[in-house]
A and B are shown apart, each in its own frame.
Chain A
Amino acid sequence: MEYIQGIIILIGINLIAVLGLSILTGFTGLFSFGHGGFMAIGAYVCAIFVARLHQPFALAILAGALSAGLVSVVIGRLTLKLKGDYFCIATMGFGEAVRIILNNVNYVGGARGWESLPKLTTVWLTLALDLVFVVVTWNIINSRQGRNMVAAREEELAAQMAGIDVFKSKMIALVISAVFAGVAGALMAQYMQFLRPTMFNMTKSTDLTIMVIFGGLGSISGSILGTILLVSLPELFRDFAQWRLVFYGLAVIVIMVGRPQGLMGGLELTPSGIRRAVAARSARRELAAADKAEAAE
């Protein structure tokens, strides 16, 4: 039972980070390979608040999230004007820099790690927070701010011509995603009970991005599905520990090459989402039929 609970907590924690990244990557179109860095900031700040300053867990989570958010403002100011590829590389550099700096801070255990932290993260807390974050994400995406982000993803120039401050939209998305990652990191610290900088390396950052893509860019339900599948499957196949990452890599390639739209392909698993998908499909069919009729004339 504890094993199942463990998997649920892991899914729940990752889900929060993935939802944030879904806003940044799926809806705003910015790819990051450095969100492990924001998770690390959330995790270490939270652990400092809990273990060193003896503050309540809620305050510690808040502090972790805010720290990650503040750092993201600085990173955003520096890098958001960069063109796509270079933004990626810069976030990667940021993530690695955080990890390497942590390696050298003995106050939090350095490279050897920081052990015997209190266990404060529970299943119920995680699930409750998941619910909150799903609703928050949903509400953000369905607001004018959320639509501005999508516009920035779709066609930056046209977005500007529609009066959208694209830089600001990207900044909002980045800060939200960093705050989410910070919360996830905080929960992770108080669940694992130990911290080590390698937990937040580039592989972790890539994993998060892959979950978003696997579920389908621009779909919240896709991000949820992607997280559940990609976190739980390797856990269930623990016996094949050495092969699971091989299949993981293979799955990423196959998805990218074979089904780039991911599981959900930008659609949502809600009544209105399904209705819209059906409506669009039938409208497309009608159009095709009309075209054919025209061609026949």
Chain B
Amino acid sequence: MSGADPRPGAAQAVPVLELRGLTKRFGGLAAVNDVSFAIREGGISGLIGPNGAGKTTIFNLITGVYKVSAGSILFKGSPITDLEPYRIADLGVTRTFQNIRLFKNLSARDNVLTACHMSARYGLAEAILRLPRYRREEKALAVKADGLLEIMGLADRADLTANNLPYGLQRRLEITRALALDPTLLLLDEPAAGMNPDETEQLMLLISDIRKRFGLSVLVIEHHMDLIMGVCEHIHVLNFGCSLADGDPAVVAGDPKVVEAYLGQEDER
């Protein structure tokens, strides 16, 4: 997506997510400084940059965890800046976390079932009295949750407490839980952290598969360059809270500024 698209029709296509001059200051420090980029509907985009570049902060801003200091965030063309986090999730933007945040003491199934709640409409009184709508919708939720677990290869571990799942499956469960919301945009925060090359490879396939199957857009933060280069169609690079580069993976990887930012970081270590 480097350069302006010459066709007038394509230019009008509304991006699924657009950041405009997004800025977040903690005290005097700008963790994110005037960042702008857009994500095409149905694509897989990557957000990369050295440690402390502000990637997770951007996720926190998009999902409403942090209040925006300046700039705006548009989801399918309408602003979601400073909405309550759960409202943003309601609209179809959800995420996973760098340090996995599952409902640890619940079974894998209940983790997914909980996130399915928006597919049901029954009220508390209907639940207390076990009215027909409650029974019908609960049955549908269970079918949906089991279906997702099946697709994600977690069906045989559905009764295990999330805590007791192996690390890789915990990451997978977190993605499954996010999918239960039927999101339009899925934000993945370092999904391959702590995985070996084999598992990373599998994850790459999984992400592509999910995207196709559920027709959603994905924005992924990652350090594994092979994962980024392998699945992303578009990359945005951050350094010290500022945009450094934006475009095709191949173009970005060749950008001297990007190489320098990463090498500079290696030196610090």
Tell whether A pairs with B. yes
* Residues in chain A within 8 A of chain B (CB atoms): 136, 139-140, 142-148, 150-151, 154-155, 157-166, 172, 218, 266, 276, 279-280, 283-284, 287
Would you call B128 and A283 a contact (CB within 8 A)? no
B67 touches A (CB below 8 Å): no
CB distance from B17 to the nearest CB of A (A): 16
**Which residues of chain A come closer than 8 Å to B120, judged between CB atoms?**
144
- Kindly list 7 other residue pairs between chains A and B, CB separation below 8 angstroms, not including A146-B127, A151-B114, A159-B103: A140-B124, A143-B122, A150-B110, A151-B103, A158-B177, A164-B117, A287-B164
Interface flags for B83-119 (1: CB within 8 Å of A; 0: not) read 0111001100011010001111111001001111110
**Which residues of chain B come closer than 8 Å to A160, judged between CB atoms?**
64-65, 84-86, 89
- Known contacts: A140-B128, A144-B117, A280-B159. The answer to whether A161 contacts B122 by CB under 8 A is no
Across the A-B interface, the 3 shortest Cβ-Cβ residue pairs = A143-B127, A163-B89, A154-B103
**Which residues of chain A come closer than 8 Å to B161, judged between CB atoms?**
280
CB distance from B59 to the nearest CB of A (A): 10
CB distance from A81 to the nearest CB of B (A): 12
B227 touches A (CB below 8 Å): no
B166 touches A (CB below 8 Å): yes
B33 touches A (CB below 8 Å): no
Interface flags for B34-54 (1: CB within 8 Å of A; 0: not) read 000000000000000000000
- The closest CB in chain A to the CB of B121 belongs to A144
**Which residues of chain A come closer than 8 Å to B85, judged between CB atoms?**
157, 160-161
Would you call B104 and A136 a contact (CB within 8 A)? no
Would you call B164 and A280 a contact (CB within 8 A)? yes
- Known contacts: A136-B128, A157-B101, A280-B164. The answer to whether A162 contacts B177 by CB under 8 A is yes
B63 touches A (CB below 8 Å): yes
Candidate in B103, B110, B177 with the most chain A CB atoms within 10 angstroms: B103
**Which residues of chain B come closer than 8 Å to A218, judged between CB atoms?**
105
Would you call A280 and B103 a contact (CB within 8 A)? no
Taken together as a complex, chains A and B put the C-alpha atoms of A150 and B120 apart, in Å, by: 17
B160 touches A (CB below 8 Å): yes
**Which residues of chain A come closer than 8 Å to B118, judged between CB atoms?**
163
- The closest CB in chain A to the CB of B120 belongs to A144
Would you call B107 and A280 a contact (CB within 8 A)? yes
* Residues in chain B within 8 A of chain A (CB atoms): 63-65, 84-86, 89-90, 94-95, 97, 101-107, 110, 113-118, 120, 122, 124, 127-130, 134, 138, 141, 157, 159-161, 164, 166, 177-178, 180-181
Would you call A164 and B86 a contact (CB within 8 A)? yes
Taken together as a complex, chains A and B put the C-alpha atoms of A148 and B111 apart, in Å, by: 10
Would you call A162 and B105 a contact (CB within 8 A)? no
- Known contacts: A147-B113, A284-B160. The answer to whether A165 contacts B128 by CB under 8 A is no
Would you call B86 and A147 a contact (CB within 8 A)? no
Taken together as a complex, chains A and B put the C-alpha atoms of A151 and B112 apart, in Å, by: 11
Q: Taking chain A's interface residues, is the majority helix, strand, or loop, or is none over half, making it mixed? A: helix
Checking B101, B117, B129 against A155 with a beta-carbon cut-off of 8 angstroms, the contacting residue is B101
- Known contacts: A139-B130, A280-B164, A283-B160. The answer to whether A163 contacts B106 by CB under 8 A is no
**Which residues of chain A come closer than 8 Å to B105, judged between CB atoms?**
154, 218, 266
Taken together as a complex, chains A and B put the C-alpha atoms of A165 and B64 apart, in Å, by: 13
CB distance from A80 to the nearest CB of B (A): 14
Taken together as a complex, chains A and B put the C-alpha atoms of A142 and B139 apart, in Å, by: 12
Would you call B101 and A150 a contact (CB within 8 A)? no
CB distance from B176 to the nearest CB of A (A): 12
Pull 16 A–B residue pairs with CB atoms less than 8 Å apart, ordered by A: A139-B130, A143-B127, A150-B110, A151-B114, A155-B103, A157-B85, A158-B97, A158-B103, A159-B86, A160-B86, A160-B89, A162-B89, A162-B177, A276-B159, A279-B159, A280-B164
CB distance from B55 to the nearest CB of A (A): 17
**Which residues of chain A come closer than 8 Å to B181, judged between CB atoms?**
162-163
- Known contacts: A143-B124, A144-B117, A151-B114. The answer to whether A161 contacts B89 by CB under 8 A is yes
Taken together as a complex, chains A and B put the C-alpha atoms of A139 and B129 apart, in Å, by: 8
CB distance from A281 to the nearest CB of B (A): 10
**Which residues of chain A come closer than 8 Å to B113, judged between CB atoms?**
147
Would you call A172 and B124 a contact (CB within 8 A)? yes
- The closest CB in chain B to the CB of A135 belongs to B128
Taken together as a complex, chains A and B put the C-alpha atoms of A140 and B106 apart, in Å, by: 17
- The closest CB in chain A to the CB of B141 belongs to A144
Would you call B166 and A287 a contact (CB within 8 A)? yes
- The closest CB in chain B to the CB of A139 belongs to B128
- The closest CB in chain B to the CB of A284 belongs to B164
Taken together as a complex, chains A and B put the C-alpha atoms of A194 and B138 apart, in Å, by: 46
Taken together as a complex, chains A and B put the C-alpha atoms of A171 and B127 apart, in Å, by: 17
Would you call B104 and A165 a contact (CB within 8 A)? no
**Which residues of chain A come closer than 8 Å to B129, judged between CB atoms?**
139
Would you call A161 and B94 a contact (CB within 8 A)? yes
Checking A136, A157, A163, A172 against B117 with a beta-carbon cut-off of 8 angstroms, the contacting residue is A163
Taken together as a complex, chains A and B put the C-alpha atoms of A276 and B160 apart, in Å, by: 9
CB distance from B106 to the nearest CB of A (A): 7
Taken together as a complex, chains A and B put the C-alpha atoms of A287 and B117 apart, in Å, by: 30
CB distance from B108 to the nearest CB of A (A): 10
Would you call A162 and B110 a contact (CB within 8 A)? no
Checking B97, B134, B159 against A143 with a beta-carbon cut-off of 8 angstroms, the contacting residue is B134
CB distance from A215 to the nearest CB of B (A): 16
